[in-house]
Chain A
Amino acid sequence: MIKFFLMVNKQGQTRLSKYYEHVDINKRTLLETEVIKSCLSRSNEQCSFIEYKDFKLIYRQYAALFIVVGVNDTENEMAIYEFIHNFVEVLDEYFSRVSELDVSFSTTVLHSTRHRVKPEAEPIDELPKTCSAGEPQEACCLTDDSFRGSVSTPIC
């Protein structure tokens, strides 16, 4: 089962975070810092799975952006690993060459994309339009922090 979904850049700024189980806001920050630290310290030769506390982190790096998914031990690592790529491909298609800037400027799109991609590689033909295309970078981090305990559509 997926516990959380994070997009963090190399500087450790969270671009997107989504928790599927309740985690306190201050614990989230701590968790995100630790998670990105353990991802950054790894080299290409190392595998993409990290055992972290009582769950597993599965991560992929796209340029300066890390996508990290935390799962419990019943999840299929390979499927999640490839799911991350699928997600990025969908974003890529939507934004035509997605970059970190797109990610930070269009939170809403991301959230709805994430909902829709999760179940299966689904075409996203009716994506809702972005609400505020001009949302600045900080907004993104805040967006997710402010989802106080509320969680989006579950996936698995």
Chain B
Amino acid sequence: MPAVSKGDGMRGLAVFISDIRNCKSKEAEIKRINKELANIRSKFKGDKALDGYSKKKYVCKLLFIFLLGHDIDFGHMEAVNLLSSNKYTEKQIGYLFISVLVNSNSELIRLINNAIKNDLASRNPTFMCLALHCIANVGSREMGEAFAADIPRILVAGDSMDSVKQSAALCLLRLYKASPDLVPMGEWTARVVHLLNDQHMGVVTAAVSLITCLCKKNPDDFKTCISLAVSRLSRIVSSASTDLQDYTYYFVPAPWLSVKLLRLLQCYPPPEDAAVKGRLVECLETVLNKAQEPPKSKKVQHSNAKNAILFETISLIIHYDSEPNLLVRACNQLGQFLQHRETNLRYLALESMCTLASSEFSHEAVKTHIDTVINALKTERDVSVRQRAADLLYAMCDRSNAKQIVSEMLRYLETADYAIREEIVLKVAILAEKYAVDYSWYVDTILNLIRIAGDYVSEEVWYRVLQIVTNRDDVQGYAAKTVFEALQAPACHENMVKVGGYILGEFGNLIAGDPRSSPPVQFSLLHSKFHLCSVATRALLLSTYIKFINLFPETKATIQGVLRAGSQLRNADVELQQRAVEYLTLSSVASTDVLATVLEEMPPFPERESSILAKLKRKKGPGAGSALDDGRRDASSNDINGGVEPTPSTVSTPSPSADLLGLRAAPPPAAPPAPASAGNLLVDVFDGPAAQPSLGATPEEAFLSELEPPAPESPMALLADPAPAADPGPEDIGPPIPEADELLNKFVCKNNGVLFENQLLQIGVKSEFRQNLGRMYLFYGNKTSVQFQNFSPTVVHPGDLQTQLAVQTKRVAAQVDGGAQVQQVLNIECLRDFLTPPLLSVRFRYGGAPQSLTLKLPVTINKFFQPTEMAAQDFFQRWKQLSLPQQEAQKIFKANHPMDAEVTKAKLLGFGSALLDNVDPNPENFVGAGIIQTKALQVGCLLRLEPNAQAQMYRLTLRTSKEPVSRHLCELLAQQF
């Protein structure tokens, strides 16, 4: 090892640097730098040719000046000259300068590339390494283009030195990550995989990194690496602690390489070959055994390195999830770590165990550690470790231990860090709901949750408890009693008031028999909290009051008094004021019967996936998914514990709060449902059931909307004028649903099929096109048993499509009976070429709720294609005629479907062009021709599709006489393969 040679003889540089260091002020520094720059410039410009040493020195100075934050605009050429020096130090400085100050000056890049090329070909390993490092450091696309082909050659060449191979592998990896398309593996694959057998451990390590990255893209091409990796791993694992010399780290043979090999194996399923699998299992067992052996060294580095391998082994075992024996052993090993004195190990053990808990083989084994984990939650000093413990408790929870875990988490919540409280609250709420055996326990738990950490109880949580109480009549009385008691606490959280207000308003009558909770007592208890609450809560309480008038006529006078009070009737908040006015009028005008109908008990909410779960998933990101998706373990409990019913995904929900609540079973109305922002929350709570077909289900909303002048198309009009939604103007249709483009794509190459389907409605399409005319039949099927009303599908031409495409529609019947189908005929004429398809907007009322849906009509320009047969000669002649750059559109893209020639042929024919055989010299390629017929003009069109099966890529070229048409057709067609 060389000693650090101070200054390397470059005294001038050292002097310059110390001058700068001694500068008293910024100005002095700049002055000194300018002086030096002038000096260097004159030297570079001078007549006397500089020797390598001086060049190096000046380039170094420039580099230093640049590092101080000044711009350097010369000296590049001298640096490039240094690249061709034969002295290592000079070359190195040259490369350093290039790596730091590279710019895409084309002149220079060419010279640099030349120098690099020379060094790569030099057979001097040090120079080759320098060049490779430079390519990797710059890593630009230009560099990639220039060298991507050379590097694999160097990597697999038999005569490359080990250090060069190593650098080449890493350099290739870097280029691949920067621009994957530039690195065509194909022919090199097998030889790169064989680097795993290399003598030199450094080469193997670099190769593993490269393969791990490459195999993610083409797992099948690299499949052979499994057996090589296994045998390499087995050799390392079984080697004695000194066998690998330099690669032994504190008596652990090649720890990082082992970890990388284990990680590579995690890219694949368990090996199919029994011998390989046996060998691998043996390896894994050896690692687990070694963990039990007494350490070979007392040094912490030894055990750290050993544990790194152990943890990676365990994650491979978990990844395979097929060896019960190993899974249980892994679990026991982690169990030991849970009580280790090293915090790092406890943290990692908890983390790994969390994934282990979701395996059916080891779930029981994980559960045995529950006491240790609970203890960790209580005593651990590090918050991140506690959080892992909470995660693990959540993952290991099932029906047998839910009560214990939930109560421990509740207890922990009192002292938990603020940062993780909300997450814990969500987890408790989910566990309580999922594993509730009796719902009184569930209600107790959630109310406790609100009591302990009310601030962190998000809307989803208390919405959910209301949903469950509303849906389960066996728990309603208990819930009413419990919230009543909870509200008696002198200070209670606003969320408690919300839950209490809602539950008493709905089910207060169930406890009214008890004199301690008589109606007036209930009312005064709620009203005592009223003034302390936010607007949203007060609005909710007002609704509770009007429900009280219905439930308990004896409270009517008191409540009317409250509503009449100036503080309500003239409240500054418009929502509160409106509610007070409306409720007051309702209570005095309406008869008891009307009141009873309007304020009837809420109907059950449709069962849906818990919105809390969705929130937790969002909060934790996709990583948490595995721990949560333990539906398989829990399949039996779906019926009681609220739902894993799939959510309807076809409809977009514009209002985020409605989505959180997760109540909507049907698409939302086109008009925004909530008129006032403060009322949002309530509207959402009440909104849900409106989607149910039962009329009269939504007293609040209906009532409100009747009195609300500002909502013209009031969403849930029970009493409202039934006329308005009849024929909406084309302006106010919604945007197309998100899947519209995808649905449209399916019809580019075919004319018949199902265009759209959701839970309510199915739309089928049959169409035929001739010349520039077409006829399309749309079939609308009602999938429910309830009649659709005001059914009106309309076709809309966005933008100036009107002048390009004429679509005539026939009206259809306004009613569609349950289970029935109606047909609509569309006559289409293509006037001139067009790019965007027309929109189909479907509106109807389902159970009183307006539904609207906008799709793209499957009419694309290629439908008006007339196939044209021609001979090869004609084709080429026309092809040449259309040679202007704007007439051609080309796309190179990856195959999304298996590359089958027959399927491709069928798609091209479906697309509308004629297929011409014997035109292209390469029989693999497809060539087609056709004319697009429009009323105004005809557009001739030639296409060529070149599949490359090896790279799984296509190149599509289109030439037409009109530029936008070329581009549009190219885009349409490219999505089909």
Chain A positions near chain B (C-beta within 8 angstroms)? 43, 45-51, 54, 73-74, 76-79, 81-83, 85-86, 93-95, 106, 108-109, 115, 119-136, 138-139, 142-143, 146-147, 150-156
Contact = CB atoms under 8 A, between A and B. Distances in A.
A138 B13 CA distance: 16
B14 A134 contact: yes
A78 B381 contact: no
Contacts of A43: 381
15 contacts: A45-B343, A46-B385, A49-B347, A77-B348, A78-B348, A81-B304, A82-B304, A122-B202, A131-B93, A136-B20, A150-B138, A150-B139, A152-B136, A153-B171, A153-B174
B558 interface: no
A49 B312 contact: no
A128 B91 CA distance: 11
Contacts of B384: 46-47, 49-51
B89 A119 contact: no
A85 B252 CA distance: 15
Interface stretch (B96-104, B862-870, B901-909): B96-104
Interface stretch (B3-11, B396-404, B835-843): B3-11
A84 B7 CA distance: 28
B222 interface: no
B12 to A, nearest CB: 11
A154 B100 contact: no
B698 interface: no
A131 B93 CA distance: 7
A123 B244 CA distance: 13
A85 B301 contact: yes
Contacts of A78: 304, 307-308, 311, 344, 348
A129 B348 contact: no
Contact of B343 (A46, A128, A153): A46
Given A76-B308, A134-B17, A151-B174, A129 B246 contact: no
A43 B891 CA distance: 57
Nearest to B133: A153
Contacts of B804: none
A151 B139 CA distance: 7
Which of the listed residues A54, A125, A154 has the most CB atoms from chain B within 10 Å of its own CB? A154
Contacts of B100: 143, 146-147, 150
B139 to A, nearest CB: 6
A134 B206 CA distance: 33
The 10 closest A-B pairs by CB, nearest first: A78-B308, A79-B308, A46-B382, A47-B343, A47-B347, A154-B174, A142-B67, A119-B205, A82-B304, A134-B17
Contacts of B137: 147, 150-153
Given A130-B4, A139-B67, 8 more contacts: A47-B346, A77-B344, A77-B348, A94-B4, A119-B206, A120-B205, A123-B246, A152-B136
A129 B547 CA distance: 85
B249 A132 contact: no
Contact of A76 (B1, B88, B312, B385): B312
A83 to B, nearest CB: 7
Contacts of A51: 384
A131 B60 contact: yes
Nearest to B6: A133
Contacts of B294: none
A126 B6 CA distance: 17
A154 B177 contact: yes
Interface stretch (B39-47, B255-263, B633-641): B255-263
A135 B96 CA distance: 15
Contacts of B177: 154
Contacts of B515: none
Contact of A121 (B88, B132, B246, B304): B246
Given A106-B4, A130-B4, A134-B18, A49 B344 contact: yes
Nearest to B201: A120
A130 B17 CA distance: 15
Contacts, number: 189
A79 B69 contact: no
A127 to B, nearest CB: 7
B216 to A, nearest CB: 11
Interface residues of B, number: 80
A46 B99 CA distance: 39
B320 interface: no
B913 interface: no
B126 interface: yes
A147 B132 CA distance: 17
Which of the listed residues A78, A108, A138, A151 has the most CB atoms from chain B within 10 Å of its own CB? A78
Which of the listed residues B1, B14, B20, B385 has the most CB atoms from chain A within 10 Å of its own CB? B1
B37 interface: no
A128 B8 contact: no
Contacts of B247: 120-122
Nearest to A151: B139
A94 B769 CA distance: 79
A44 to B, nearest CB: 9
A136 B311 contact: no
B209 interface: yes
A95 B4 contact: yes
Contacts of B7: 132-134
B246 A122 contact: yes
A13 to B, nearest CB: 15
Contact of B96 (A108, A119, A151): A108
Contact of B8 (A54, A82, A93, A131): A131
B729 interface: no
Contacts of A135: 17, 64, 67
Nearest to B13: A132
Given A131-B60, A143-B67, A119 B170 contact: yes
Contacts of A146: 66-67, 100
Contacts of B260: 156
B166 interface: yes
Contact of B68 (A115, A142, A155): A142
B2 to A, nearest CB: 6
Contacts of A134: 6-7, 13-14, 17-18
Contacts of B10: 132
Contacts of A94: 1, 4
Nearest to B166: A119
A131 B92 contact: yes
B305 interface: yes
B302 to A, nearest CB: 10
Contacts of A123: 246
A151 B842 CA distance: 53
Contact of B102 (A150, A152, A155): A150
B490 interface: no
A5 to B, nearest CB: 15
B382 A47 contact: yes
A132 B17 contact: yes
Contacts of A50: 384
Contacts of B64: 132, 135, 139
Given A47-B382, A120-B254, A133 B2 contact: no
Nearest to A109: B4
B167 interface: yes
B89 A129 contact: yes
B799 interface: no
A147 B99 CA distance: 8
Nearest to B385: A47
B621 interface: yes
A4 to B, nearest CB: 15
B256 A121 contact: yes
Interface in B307-325: 307-308, 311-312, 315
A133 B8 CA distance: 8
Contact of B173 (A85, A86, A154): A154
B381 A45 contact: yes
B8 A129 contact: yes
Which of the listed residues A46, A109, A131, A142 has the most CB atoms from chain B within 10 Å of its own CB? A131
B768 to A, nearest CB: 52
Nearest to B388: A47
Contacts of B126: 126
